[in-house]
Each structure stands twice: as C-alpha cells, then as structure tokens.
Amino acid sequence: MIPEGQAPKSSLKNLKFIMRYLQPHRRNIVLLFFVLAISSVSLLSLGVGLKNLIDTGFSHNNRWMLDAALGGLLAVTAILSVAAYLRHFLITKVGEQVVAEIRKDIFSKLLSLSPEFYEQAKTGEMLSRITTDTTVLQMVIGTSLAFLVRNALILVGSIVLIVFTSPKLSLYVAVVIPIIVIVILSLAKKVRHLSRESQDKVAAVSASVNEIINNIKTVQAYGREAEQAARIGVVVEDARLAAMQRVRARSKLSSLTIMLVFGFITLILWLGGKDVLAGRISAGELSAFIFYAVMAASALGVISDIVGDLQRAAGASERIAEILAYVSPIRSPDNPRSIPAGGKGEVEFDNVKFSYPSKPGTPALDHVSFKVNAGEMVAIVGPSGAGKSTILQLLLRFYDPASGEIRLDGLPIKEVDLQALRNQFAYVTQDPVVFSETARENIRFGNLSATDAEIEEAAKIANAYGFIQRLPQGFDTFLGERGVRISGGERQRIALARAVVKKPKVLLLDEATNALDAESEHLVQEALEKVMQSCTTIVIAHRLATVLKASKIIVIDKGRIEAMGTHKELVAQGSLYARLAEMQFGN
C-alpha cells in the first residue's frame, strides 16, 4: 500500500516518533516519574520493615515493634493509594492528549496526500490506522508505560536491596536474571511480528466492511448479501486466526516467565534456608531477601507482559509511521510564486504527457496542447476513457504530468502554492458529493465566509432554491449520509450551488448536468450562462446539447486531441465529433 522506500525500516525504532508527542507534556511526565519513584520506594521499604519485625520484634517479643510495623504499613498504604490516584490521572491525561494529537496529525496527513496515494490505499485500512492502531498506542501510553516505569524501578531497587541483604545469594540472581531476560526478549520479538500481522488482518476487515457498506444498494439490488457475508466471514476468520497466533505466543511468553521466575524463587528459598540453619544470615534477612526476590520476580513478570504490549504498539507505530513518513509527490514548492492579482483564469496545456501510476505503460494524455482564454467557455468531448477528466485532474494538481507544462494566467502551476492554486477553481464532478450536513452547510463548503444571503442566491442560480425550500427545515434540513435524503439531480444542484458560491476564476464541470432531467438541465444551463460570464469555464460532457454554445470544443480520443473548433466547424470536418453529433442529433 505504501510505496517501497517510504516505510521505516524497524518497528522498534518507530516507537521513537511518540517522543515528539510526549515533549509538550514533559512537566506532567516528570511529575509522574516522581510519583512512581515515591510509590516504588514506599513499597520496597516494606522489606526493611519485615526484616526488623522478624529479627527485633518477634525474636525479642517486642510489642512496640509490632505496633510500629502496623503504623508503618498504614502509612505506606496511604502513600500508595495517593500515588495510585496521581499515577492514573497523570498518565491517562497524557495518553488521551497524545493520542488525540496523533489522530489529528494522521488525518491532516491523509488530507494532504494526492489521489495517487489513494489509488493504492483502502479507505477502511486508513480508518483502522486512525482508530485501531491509535487505540493500541493509547493503551500503552495511558496504562502500560506507567506500569513499565514503576516495575522497572521496583526491579532495580529490589536487585540493589538483594545485593545489600545477601551478597552470596545475589550471585545466583546475577546469573539467572539475564538468562530470563534473554528468553523473554527472544519470545517478545515473535510477539511483535505476530502483532503487526494481526493488525494488518484487522485493517483488512475494516476495509472490506467499509467497501460493502458504501455500496450496499448495489449489493442488495443484485441479491449478493449471502456472498458478501461469506466474503467478510473469510476475512474475519483470517483476522481471528492471526489474533490467536499472537495470543498463543504471548501466553507462552507469560507462562514461561512465571515458570522461570518462581522456579528461581524456590531455589533461593532452599539455598537461603540452609544459610539460616547454618547461622550465616538471620531469619529476618532471609525474609527480606525473599520479599525482594518476589518483588523482583513480580516486576519482571509484569515487564514481560508489558513487553508484549510494547511489541504490539511497535506494530501499530510502524503502520502509523508509514503514513506520517510518506512523502506525497504532489506538494507545494518550497518557494511558491504568487498568482497574478489581475489574472482572469487563462489556462494553457503545453505538450502535456501523463500516465496514471496504476497504468504506467498507458498514456492517459499524449502530448496534449491547447489554450483557454480568460472568460472563455471551452468544452471537451470524446468517448469514455479518452482522457477528458484527466485534464481537469491535472489542472487541480491531483497529479503532475510526466512531461510538458500546465499554466494558469501564464504561471506554471507547479510553482504555485497548492492551496492557492486550487482556490482559483470550482470543481463539480459527475458523481455529486454531498456531506452529512444541512443543505446550507453543504453549499457553504464552497466558501466558508459566505453569508446566508449569498448561499441562497447561489442556490437560486443552480436551480436548487425551490426544492431546498420544500424540505422539512428548508436550508437547515439534514441531507443524510452522502445526501441519501434527496435525489441524484438534487444532489447535483447542491454541488453546483457550492461551486457558484465560491466565485472561482475557473469553473470545471465534469459531466455536471448528467444527473438532471431535461427541464432541470435547461434551467441549470441558463443559470450557468450567467455564472460563466464572470469566469473561465471548462466543460466535459457526453451529451453534446450541453456544449453547443461553447466558444471552442476540444475533441479528444485515446489521450490525443483529434480536433478543435466550434460545433459547426467540427461537424463540417466530418471528424469523430461529427459521428458523435450524428448519433445524438441524428444529422
């Protein structure tokens, strides 16, 4: 999905990118570390209390020591409870903020990527990276990270106290713990690989479901519900099997860790017991040693479990980092030139050649050259797949040509800021886009500063005012997801109104009247003639009746310009256009 050479090499290194998101929260993180240190020291102090209680209290029948031990235990409990509250609050706060920032950055990145990227990407998979993968990171940052630090402090502190309590027994610890750590890390590497595979399978489920839901009418119209359910069932089962592989590997990791750690504690208890009987250490010292060994073992067990979480987070980070590291080939130049203030929307293609990334060997445009004068209406006609829509997509810099140059008002569009360039155009596609908003907000999308009066005027020009007024709440009626509450022709007129309210220099109409009935098309054509007086217009149409008044018609076929001229001139030439006209007009 991500082109080769763009993805980071190591998933473990991908965790580093989280550090730049943690930087703004360093004050809370420092406070968190302080709280974790206090709670760890408090917990470890119980071992010292245990030693003194056994050696001084029980051995000498000292009731005062017993009372002091109880008071100390209550004090430690109070400290641990306050520390637990602060730890949970601080780490959760940081985790929520960091994940929110990552999600915003991913979405901003996705918005900036060119259609070339989306030729290879799946919408559902991108949604999975914003939701599922960031949720994994949220769990790690908001929970696992604090437990990792706390248990690492406990482990280090326990080892230090183990050495201080019994240097002899600590030698066994020095030999065995590295072995345990090596085993854990080797298994954790496998968990990381399986986690990435599992997350990819979950993303595949999301992508498949998204595709089917977006095309539910077609699925139901052809009666393919059972087949699609079976298809999803296969993908879901693949995801389940991948998840079970990860679960089994992680379960083995936890099981082996417990066996190694507690087997080691049993060995220490046996060896220490012999030292107590020989008088080399006291019972209190052995009890403290075992306490610290148990604490170290427990901390190691928790760390091994968290390592599994970290490996899973590494897989999620790799997928997120792929997107954030991806460099779009379509971007603003480092030193953009300003579009001339007095420009009227002159468009020029100069020997342009282009192939889509998915079809590198098939030219979509082959040495295309033409000029559209400012304020002119030019129509582009030709059979399906001839390259008509490609011209508009190159104008908007959805793609860049392989060779040749495209200019707006005499300025190469590659030298202009991308946003500034696209602000010069209004684009209406064959498939009208309507957002899950009200009619008013759908039109305002074309110009966020437009007043209600301007919105209503644009609706009148696009012949949308009448049907909008008849909606239950008029302009404030919610149109449903993808505009399902209105007809196809009404959706097209909403899209036209959005283009009108933008007041562009260049109006791009890609089969913009195809969804309209004859009466609406006639009314919209009349309205568009008014709009076209104030801007350059490029129209793509199969229905030649919509382009008869064009000052120039460009006939394109197989990526090449076959002819240019007015309707009468092209009919007289007996070209491809003449054949198209004969099929539609019968003359």
Domain for residue 161, yes or no? yes
Same domain, 417 and 470: yes
Q: Which of 276, 295, 325 is the last residue of a domain?
A: 325
Domain for residue 176, yes or no? yes
The set of residues, in sequence order, having a beta carbon less than 8 Å from that of 298 and lying 6+ positions away, is 151, 154
CA distance 292 to 303: 16
Q: Which pair of tokens denotes residue 116? A: 């070339």
One-letter amino acid for residue 512 of the chain: A
Q: How confident is the model at residue 586 (pLDDT cuts 50, 70, 90)?
A: low
Find the mean pLDDT for residues 359-387.
87
Is the CB of residue 557 less than 8 Å from the CB of residue 547?
Answer: no
Higher-confidence position of 31 and 71: 31
18, exposed or middle or buried, with CB in 10 Å at 0-12, 13-18, 19+?
buried
Angle at 415 between CA 410 and CA 420, to 5 degrees: 85
Find the mean pLDDT for residues 241-257.
79
CA distance 132 to 312: 12
The domain tally of the chain equals 2
Q: How confident is the model at residue 10 (pLDDT cuts 50, 70, 90)?
A: very low
Phi then psi dihedrals of residue 296, to 5 deg: -65, -40
CATH number at residue 517: 3.40.50.300
CA distance 483 to 64: 79
Domain for residue 342, yes or no? no
Higher-confidence position of 441 and 488: 441
pLDDT, tens only, 409-446: 989 999 999 888 988 998 888 777 888 888 899 899 88
Find the mean pLDDT for residues 470-496.
83
pLDDT, tens only, 301-357: 677 767 767 777 777 777 787 888 888 888 888 898 888 777 788 999 999 999 988
312, exposed or middle or buried, with CB in 10 Å at 0-12, 13-18, 19+?
buried
CATH number at residue 91: 1.20.1560.10
- Residue 49 predicted with pLDDT over 70: no
Phi then psi dihedrals of residue 7, to 5 deg: -80, 140
- Residue 533 predicted with pLDDT over 50: yes
- Residue 227 predicted with pLDDT over 60: yes
112: number of Cβ within 10 Å: 14
Domain for residue 62, yes or no? yes
Domain for residue 542, yes or no? yes
pLDDT at 372: 92
Same domain, 131 and 250: yes
In a 3-state reduction of DSSP, which class is residue 285? helix
Same domain, 223 and 369: no
Is the CB of residue 381 less than 8 Å from the CB of residue 416?
Answer: no
Find the mean pLDDT for residues 281-291.
76
pLDDT at 69: 63
Find the mean pLDDT for residues 123-145.
76
- Residue 204 predicted with pLDDT over 80: no
Same domain, 351 and 474: yes
Per mean pLDDT, which range of 50-64, 202-216, 558-572, 573-587 is the poorest?
50-64
Same domain, 426 and 527: yes
In a 3-state reduction of DSSP, which class is residue 535? coil
- Residue 299 predicted with pLDDT over 70: yes
**Short-list 564, 539, 508, 558, CA closest to 364:** 558
pLDDT at 50: 66
Domain for residue 337, yes or no? no
**Short-list 426, 429, 327, 425, CA closest to 388:** 429
- Residue 583 predicted with pLDDT over 70: no
Most confident option among 19-28, 203-212, 252-261, 276-285: 19-28
Phi then psi dihedrals of residue 159, to 5 deg: -65, -40
Domain span including residue 160: 13-325
Query: What DSSP character marks residue 478?
Result: B
Domain for residue 331, yes or no? no
Domain for residue 339, yes or no? no
34: number of Cβ within 10 Å: 13
What order do you get walking across the sheet with 363-372 strand by strand? 363-372, 347-355, 403-408, 411-412
Find the mean pLDDT for residues 239-252.
82
CA distance 554 to 386: 12
Is the CB of residue 359 less than 8 Å from the CB of residue 367?
Answer: no
Mean pLDDT for the chain? 79
CA distance 272 to 268: 6
Find the mean pLDDT for residues 66-72.
67
pLDDT at 369: 92
Same domain, 228 and 293: yes
Q: How confident is the model at residue 59 (pLDDT cuts 50, 70, 90)?
A: low
Most confident option among 33-42, 453-462, 535-544: 453-462
What order do you get walking across the sheet with 377-381 strand by strand? 425-428, 506-510, 536-540, 377-381, 552-557, 560-565
Same domain, 352 and 293: no
Same domain, 439 and 308: no
Phi then psi dihedrals of residue 574, to 5 deg: 70, 30
The proportion of the chain whose per-residue pLDDT surpasses 70, expressed as a percent, equals 84
Q: How confident is the model at residue 545 (pLDDT cuts 50, 70, 90)?
A: low
pLDDT at 67: 66
500: number of Cβ within 10 Å: 29
Per mean pLDDT, which range of 19-23, 214-218, 438-442, 568-572 is the poorest?
214-218
Same domain, 467 and 398: yes
Q: How confident is the model at residue 9 (pLDDT cuts 50, 70, 90)?
A: very low
- Residue 99 predicted with pLDDT over 70: yes
**Short-list 385, 580, 424, CA closest to 508:** 424
- Residue 405 predicted with pLDDT over 90: yes
In a 3-state reduction of DSSP, which class is residue 370? strand
pLDDT at 452: 92
Same domain, 57 and 140: yes
Same domain, 184 and 154: yes
CA distance 321 to 302: 27
- Residue 394 predicted with pLDDT over 90: yes
Find the mean pLDDT for residues 149-175.
79
Find the mean pLDDT for residues 559-585.
77
Same domain, 52 and 139: yes
pLDDT at 89: 85
272: number of Cβ within 10 Å: 24
CA distance 458 to 565: 31
